[in-house]
Amino acid sequence: MSKVVGIGASPKRKEDLRFVTGRGNYVADIKRPGMLFGAFLRSPHAHARLGAIDVTAAGAMPGVVAVYTGEDLKADNVGGLPVGWGIHGKDGNPMKEPPHPPIAHGKVRHVGDAVAFVVAETVEQARSAVEAIDVQYEILPAVVSVVEALQAGAPAVYDDIPDNLCCDWELGDAAAVEAAFIDAAHVASIELVNNRLIGNPMEPRAAIGEYDFATGQHTLWTTSQFPHVVRFLMGEFVLHIPQHKLRVVAPDVGGGFGVKQFHYAEEAVVTWAAAKLGLPVKWVCERSEGFVSDAHGRDHFTEADLALDESGKFLGLRVRTLANMGGYLSTFGPNIPTNLYAPLLSGVYRMPAIHCSVKVVFTNTVPVDAYRGAGRPEATFVLERLVDVAAIEMGIDKRAIRRRNMIPTEAYPYQTPVIVEYDSGDPMGCLDRAEKLADVEGFEQRRLESAHRGKYRGLGLSTYVEACGLAPSRLAGSLGARGGLYESATVRVHPTGAVTVLIGTHNHGQGHETTFAQIVSDRLGVPFEDIDIVCGDTAKVQFGMGTYGSRSLVVGGAALSKAADKVILKGRKIAAHQLEADLGDIVFEAGEFSVAGTDRKKKFTEIAGAAYVPFDYPLETLEPGLEEQSYYDPVNFTYPGGAHFAEVEIDPDTGTVTLERYTAVDDVGTIINPMIVEGQLQGGIAQGVGQALFEHGVYDESSGQLLSGSFMDYCMPRADNFPAIVVAPHSTTCTHTPMGVKGCGECGTIGSPAAVINAVVDALQPLGITHVDMPATPNRIWNIIRNSRAALAAE
Ligand code: MCN
């Protein structure tokens, strides 16, 4: 039976029936009449000058329709891939922004850089022909590490940027921080690596281009988190197609995790080639190809110092980070290690002074951009590792030092020294609840039991705060964004009262079809089954900014809520006319418009019908129809936060770290769907644990080859790596979002890496260890144990 399903309920996800019954519609599933298939030749070298490219043999192979190189695109005036965010250095100069051709010309800058594109009748023919292209490479020395790239004499990724420095950026008050360090009773220091990650969503990227000569209309089907932004960037800057002549469709997308949040070369190449050939052209990424062509994440080297007084109170934080951008600037690359990183360094603490400098650096690696959490896990990792180091060095309990510095809930709104003002939160409450759920009291007993079996056991804690819900446009603009960051929603009420929502966000696993339907059901009293959520097609949906930065609910949901408000207001006007009452006397509740204090009422369905059959209708003052639209630009970020405990056991004989327990208490504001939020948190935690224990994008230092370029070498976490994860809410209400909601999509990845590594270090603390870099693989841990035992024996 159809019924209203409101906020706070956990119905089954609307979208899951088609997924679990194999009826999803992914780009790879789409077939167009006469469709051709494309394959890319990708550079096997990390850094090389391109000489002659002989495509004669490839072009003559069976089924081959065309072979294109970077020179062909250049000759046709195809532009470079634009960057969506421009930052400025501490000297006031803009970042270096070299061109990023969709297919390389002149030079290749990383293994996997596109060199040519073959179009053939079958994908096998296209792939065979790729092998027959003869390229003259003049191999150049490559540099893959950020530290090396800044050394004098390092190979220059760009001839005109000899120091490889894209931007030398800073935030905060350097003088205040220096003064804090002069007064400090103790300074804790750390040097750490935030390891490179490769997203690997379950569905690899794919794109189909099509051109209709009759209408001059181009269509791109793509695995994207933000089809409207792709339409804008590709149409305006790369292919010079007017917006109304370009349709971008992102149908079902099998996970993005940030990786599908950029405008990629392949999208432009298939769209361009389809128009050249007059036939649709499809490209589907192979898994191994994805390893060297999907944007990577993280890859920082950081030195940081924390100044404390004798009681363990924080006085100041100094952070120096080198951030790897790879061989080209990806769409949001420069924004991630700067604006999404430094403003989060205060965490949930009163930190009187912060200064963060970030050198953003080119190397001969795959471009680096946002990956779930994007900058915020990196900031949390620096801070929460440093707090543990300070606690160990000063002999203060790790929970006590945090409590001593936490922002009390009554101090909100809280202005940090690094731009952001937290509107609400209760970090102490989160920690209290997490401590209980994690049975911290029982830990000592569990440690003894592990020791009894010859194992080391450790307990790690990380608190965190996140800025999400990107973003207040004006603030983002002042920080270098090259576009607004509002969101849009249309509520289309049909004559029967059923509703179609057109929303500018994109659902690729987060359950929007369910949670957004819950919002509408709750607000309009419309049965859950009678509501459809439509996204991902620029021909259907008004301009929207898409899904990333855990923005869909707090920005998109807010637009939806406001559009629903407008529907209610119009409905009240119709009801006032029909019930012959003043507008002020009409109340809307539980799907009914009634005259306050009377039993005179009209159902939502009756009003919807009247809007489209306006016989008894105030036509003099009101247009027929019931469809409302809203664009919502947030006034601030939302600031979810929480406390995560990880408990690990280490086998000293093998170095294997086993995650024994994981407890997360998170403040995500009002919760629309508890089941979906729990799933988001669990998924995020699994990804964060993956970073902490398993995953690492490793490059060979001299050749620039990606050594972990397949699932044989890149270790994704698996279900049997996890205990049952305990997730519990501790919510405070966001003061500025319409429903009091905060984002939740990235929280798990933010708290977990530091919690796990803090647990690993805790287990190894008796050996004198104060830091372990990620990932804490058996090899790394075994070596640490062996070396520290040897050092202890030598003392
Ligand atoms: N939600 C809720 N109550 C809250 C907060 C959120 O019920 N207080 C619900 C939302 O309505 C939505 C889901 O939880 O259904 C996530 O909401 P939100 O925090 O708004 O995040 P987004 O929907 O914007 O998703 C983006 C975020 C990011 S940035 C990455 S990366 C990520 C993630 O979500 N990628 C994912 N979660 C993912 N989950 C899956 N399955 N696949 C991905 O690629």
The predicted-structure confidence for 634-658, as pLDDT tens digits, reads as follows 999 999 999 999 999 999 999 999 9
**CB of 743 sitting under 6 A from ligand 1:** yes
Q: Which residues contact 205 (CB under 8 A, 6 or more apart)?
A: 222, 223, 259, 260, 264, 266, 285, 290, 293, 294
What per-residue confidence (pLDDT) applies to 321? Answer: 98
Give the largest CA-CA distance in the chain: 95
Q: End-to-end CA distance of the chain, in Å?
A: 75
Q: What is the pLDDT of residue 793?
A: 87
671 within ligand 1 shell (Cβ under 6 A):
yes
pLDDT tens digits for range 355-367: 999 999 999 999 9
pLDDT digits (tens, 9 = 90+) for 202-252: 999 999 999 999 999 999 999 999 999 999 999 999 999 999 999 999 999
* Rounded Cα distance, 326 and 509, in Å: 28
Cα torsion 22, 26, 32, 36 to 10°: value is: -120
- CA-CA distance, 758 to 460, in Å (whole number)? 4
Atom of ligand 1 nearest to the CA of 683: 39
Q: What is the DSSP letter of 427?
A: H
Q: Does the pLDDT at position 392 exceed 80?
A: yes
CA distance 451 to 651: 10
Q: Report helix, strand or coil for 498.
A: coil
**pLDDT, position 684:** 98
**334/336 Cα distance (integer angstroms):** 6
Rounded to the nearest integer, the mean pLDDT of the chain is: 97
Instruction: Out of 468, 503, 505, 553, give the residue to mutate to test ligand 1, the one with the largest number of ligand atoms within 8 Å of its CB.
Output: 553
Asked if residue 560 has pLDDT above 90, the reply is yes
For ligand 1, atom 13: residue with the closest CA: 510
pLDDT by residue (tens digit) across 294-328? 999 999 999 999 999 999 999 999 999 999 999 99
Q: Say how many Å lie between the CA of residue 744 and the centre of ligand 1.
A: 6
- Residue 10: both structure tokens together: 């956990």
The percent of residues above 70 in pLDDT, for the chain, comes to 100
C-beta neighbour count of 606 within 10 angstroms? 17
**Residue 141 pLDDT exceeds 90:** yes
- Is-contact 342 657, C-beta < 8 A? no
Residue 1 has pLDDT above 90, yes or no: no
CB of 297 closer than 6 angstroms to any ligand 1 atom: no
pLDDT bin (cut points 50, 70, 90) of residue 792 is confident
pLDDT reported for residue 44: 98
CA of 334 to the centre of ligand 1 (A): 23
Instruction: Catalogue the long-range contacts made by 25-30 (C-beta closer than 8 Å, 24 or more residues apart).
Output: 25/251, 25/252, 26/203, 26/206, 26/223, 26/251, 26/252, 26/253, 26/254, 27/206, 27/207, 27/208, 27/221, 27/222, 27/223, 27/251, 27/284, 28/203, 28/206, 28/284, 30/208, 30/221, 30/251, 30/282
CA of 250 to the centre of ligand 1 (A): 17
Contact 227, 506 (CB under 8 A): yes
Q: What is the pLDDT of residue 745?
A: 98
Tokens representing 544 are 């929207």
pLDDT band at 795 (very low <50, low <70, confident <90, very high): confident
Q: Please, which pLDDT band fits residue 46 given cuts at 50, 70 and 90?
A: very high
> Does the C-beta of 511 come closer than 6 Å to ligand 1?
yes
**Cβ 172 under 6 angstroms from ligand 1:** no
Cα gap 552→556, rounded to integer Å: 5
Q: Which two tokens stand for residue 726?
A: 């305990």
Please choose from 203, 510, 516 the residue to mutate so as to test ligand 1's pocket, defined by most ligand atoms within 8 A of CB: 510
Tell me whether the omega of the peptide bond preceding residue 251 falls within 30 degrees of 0, making it cis. Answer: no
By most ligand atoms within 8 Å of CB, the mutation choice from 550, 666, 682, 727 for ligand 1 is 550
- Is the beta carbon of 128 within 6 A of some atom in ligand 1? no
Tell how strand 487-493 and strand 656-667 pair up. unpaired
Which ligand 1 atom is nearest residue 557's CA? 11
Q: Which two tokens stand for residue 592?
A: 């009914």
Distance CA 766, CA 751 (A): 25
d(CA 80, CA 98): 9
Determine whether the shortest distance from the Cβ of 746 to ligand 1 is under 6 A: yes
Q: What is the pTM of this model?
A: 0.97
Cβ-based neighbours of 49, under 8 Å, separated by 6 or more = 106, 107, 137, 138, 140
Cα-to-centroid distance, 418 and ligand 1 (Å)? 26
Residue 549 beta carbon below 6 angstroms from any ligand 1 atom: yes
- Please name the amino acid found at residue 400: A
The pLDDT of residue 485 is above 70: yes
Q: What residue owns the CA closest to ligand 1's atom 38?
A: 510
